[in-house]
Every structure is written in C-alpha cells, then in structure tokens.
Amino acid sequence: MTVGIKDVARVAGVSPATVSRVLGNGPVSDDLRQKVEAAIKATQYRPNLAARRLRSQHSRTIGLIVSDIRNPFFTTLSRAVEDAAYGADMRVVLCNTDENPAREAMYLRMMQEERITGLIYAPTRTTAERLGRMEFSFPVVLVDRMGPAGAHDAVTIDNASAAGVLVDHLVGQGHRRILGLFGNTSSTAELRHDGYAAAMARHGLDTDVRFLPPTAEAAEAELTRRLAAGARPDAVMVSNGLLLLGLYRAARRAGLESPRDIAIAGFDNETWTELVGPGLTVIEQPVAEIGRAAMDLVFERLRTPDMARRQVVLAARLVVRGSSAARERTARPAI
C-alpha cells in the first residue's frame, strides 16, 4: 500500500501542511520536525517526485546555490551552468550562502516557492547531513560537495585521492614537515583532509592539521601566527583556492621565498597561480565540466525521474610548478 503525506501526518500527530513544510525545509519547530522525521522513518514514506512534477508548473528556471561566489571555483562553475541553461532556453537564479545554514535554508524555501525546474547546489556541511530527509519537487544535483550516499545525484572529483597526490608529490621533492590547512565548512575539505592524512601515514610522517574558515584571510592569519611562533613547516598544502591565496600573501609578507624557504601547493588552477613567483603547484579541477555534467544530470532526472541516483566522478590533474620543488635544486626564485 502506498504511504502518503496524510499517513505520515496521522502517525506524527500533526497536519499534512506541517509534514509538507518539514519535507520542503520550511519553518517549523525542532520538536515538530523531529516528530515528522520519526514518522517518515516509521512509515517508510517515499515522495512521488514524478507525480509532483506533473502537477506543478515549473518556470524553466535552474536554481544555483553556491557557498561563496568570490571563490573562483564557483565563478567558473556558475558560468558553465548559465551557458548550458541558455542553450536550453532557461534562466538561472544564483544564490550565495556565505557558508551560512540559515541563509541557505531561506534560499531553499525560495527555490520551492519559485517552482524552479532543477537545482544545482553546493551545500554547507550542516545541511548536507540531513539532505536525505528533505523532499524537493524538482531534481537536485550536488556539486563539489556530497550529501548522504544515494540521496541525490552528484558531480565531484575524487577529493581524497587528489589530496594524496599532492602529498606524494611534496614528499617526493624531499619535504617532510607538511602542514595541511583545510576549510571547516564542507564535506569536500574533510575528504581532502582524509586523503592528506592517509598519504602522510603511508609515508610514515606525522600530520600537522588546521581546519579554518575557507577564506584567504584565515589562511594568511594562520601562517603568520605560526611563523611568529617559530613553527615554520617545510611545506604547506591547502584545500581551496582562497586558502592558497592567503597562504601566498602571508609568505610574501614575511619575506619568504618559495620553495627555498617554504614549499606551497593547493587546489584550483586559477590564472594567478601561474603568474606569481615560480608558479604554484596545484590540483586542477575540471570546473566547467562539473557545471555541464550537473546540468546534464538535471535534464536526465527530468526525463527519467525514477532512474538510479548517479555520482559522476571526474578526473583532476596535478599541475607541477616551481613552488613545490626540492630545496637543494632551487636557484632562489623570488616569491
């Protein structure tokens, strides 16, 4: 027998409207949310998304929710999504959460109210953890960051493996004391930390880790603090392009030369990374391809609502430049 919203409401002792608000991440008290989520689990309720799509009038609009539009990764991603949407005669509504779960919840409600056609979404870690309990009336594709396994389609790289490749390269260049700086708001940074830690263990090296707000200012402050305390590492690897920018600023301000005084490596092959000092070693992500693949998944889900959930994992590439070279072979390039 098919279980519906009214059945969930009866078990929870609430109204069907309350169940709908919980499923749509709408405004309800924590107590009511817990009752409804318990009833969903007890009744094994599964939303009929195909029927909801048929009943709704969508606006030929793609929602795009990113964590920080200042991050060049999301700038490039947004352009790729917009290009694909334009080609399909659709528009894009872009929202920036600043890694704020309350702001994120507001945008998710807005997407429901706007009856968008599909959502491409980089969730905060807080919201990602409960995505499996949320219902949407449109396809949702996660990018860069993961939610619960099998809850939604997703497009990522193998983040743990990519971080391990960076560590292997640094160790191969003779660097042993490798500091890892990772963002503290996303599952992506956690996976990159896991890859760093596993690679360090494989080489028999101790880890040195700090989780930070994923901003240039946070990385700059952290390296400055360590240098002032006389705790300069051989090398530093960071988990995103903004942290890489802050790290480079701090090294330059301290008068350090790379890689003579400190080796630098990180994620995101932005234009500036090849122009500074000897060039910065990075993991290059196929950002535009991620955006296009996410749009393809939205269209596939619209055509075949009941298809199995898909996780598309795209290949990343190590771009080796002078910032990570072995010190004894370095001729003092200016940072």
CA angle 299, 305, 307 (to 5 degrees): 95
With bands split at pLDDT 50, 70 and 90, how would you rate the model's confidence at 58?
low
Instruction: Give the pLDDT confidence of 320-331 residue by residue, as tens digits.
Output: 999 999 976 444
pTM reported for the whole predicted model: 0.76
Gap between the Cα atoms of 153 and 298, Å rounded:
9
Over residues 173-202, mean pLDDT: 96
Whether residue 147 has pLDDT greater than 90: no
Weakest mean pLDDT among 103-112, 140-149, 218-227, 283-292: 140-149
277 or 321, greater pLDDT = 321
Average pLDDT, rounded, for the chain: 90
Gap between the Cα atoms of 190 and 207, Å rounded:
14
pLDDT at residue 112 in the model? 87
pLDDT at residue 54 in the model? 43
CATH code, 5-56: 1.10.260.40
Under CATH, to which class is 159-285 assigned?
alpha beta
Gap between the Cα atoms of 186 and 122, Å rounded:
9
Rg for the chain, CA atoms, rounded: 22
> Highest-confidence range of 109-113, 145-149, 317-321, by mean pLDDT?
317-321
**Alpha helices per DSSP H over the chain:** 5-12, 16-23, 30-43, 49-55, 72-87, 101-113, 125-128, 159-172, 187-202, 216-228, 241-253, 287-303
111-136 exposure pattern, b = at least 16 Cβ within 10 A, e = fewer = bbeeebbbbbbbbbbebbeebebbbb
Q: Do domains 61-157+287-314 and 159-285 have the same CATH topology?
A: yes
Q: Of 71, 286, 287, nearest to 186 (Cα)?
A: 71
Using the Cα atoms of residue 65, residue 67, residue 68 and residue 72 in order, give the sign of their dihedral. Answer: negative
- HEC profile of 251-287: HHHCCCCCCCCCEEEEECCCHHHHCCCCCCEEEECCH
With bands split at pLDDT 50, 70 and 90, how would you rate the model's confidence at 198?
very high
Over residues 250-261, mean pLDDT: 95
Domain range annotation of the chain: 5-56, 61-157+287-314, 159-285
292 or 134, greater pLDDT = 292
**Beta bridge partner(s), residue 95:** 65
- HEC profile of 23-46: HCCCCCCHHHHHHHHHHHHHHCCC
pLDDT at residue 48 in the model? 59
Could you count the other beta carbons within 10 Å of the beta carbon of residue 177?
13
> Highest-confidence range of 22-31, 276-285, 319-328, by mean pLDDT?
276-285
Q: Is the peptide bond before 259 cis (omega within 30 degrees of 0)?
A: yes
**Beta bridge partner(s), residue 61:** 91
With bands split at pLDDT 50, 70 and 90, how would you rate the model's confidence at 49?
low
281-316 exposure pattern, b = at least 16 Cβ within 10 A, e = fewer = bbbbbbbebbbbbbbbbbeebeeeeeeeebebeeeb
pLDDT at residue 332 in the model? 45
pLDDT at residue 232 in the model? 95
pLDDT at residue 96 in the model? 95
Gap between the Cα atoms of 266 and 284, Å rounded:
9
61-157+287-314: what fold? Rossmann fold (3.40.50)
pLDDT at residue 237 in the model? 97
Whether residue 74 has pLDDT greater than 90: yes
Gap between the Cα atoms of 25 and 140, Å rounded:
14
* Ramachandran sector of residue 99 (left: φ over 0; alpha: ψ -120 to 50; beta: rest): left
pLDDT at residue 55 in the model? 47
pLDDT at residue 17 in the model? 83
Looking at the chain, the whole-number percentage of residues with pLDDT higher than 70 is 93
pLDDT at residue 47 in the model? 67
With bands split at pLDDT 50, 70 and 90, how would you rate the model's confidence at 128?
confident
Over residues 297-305, mean pLDDT: 92
pLDDT at residue 150 in the model? 72
Over residues 32-43, mean pLDDT: 90
Over residues 37-65, mean pLDDT: 74
**Element holding 179 (H helix, E strand):** strand 178-183
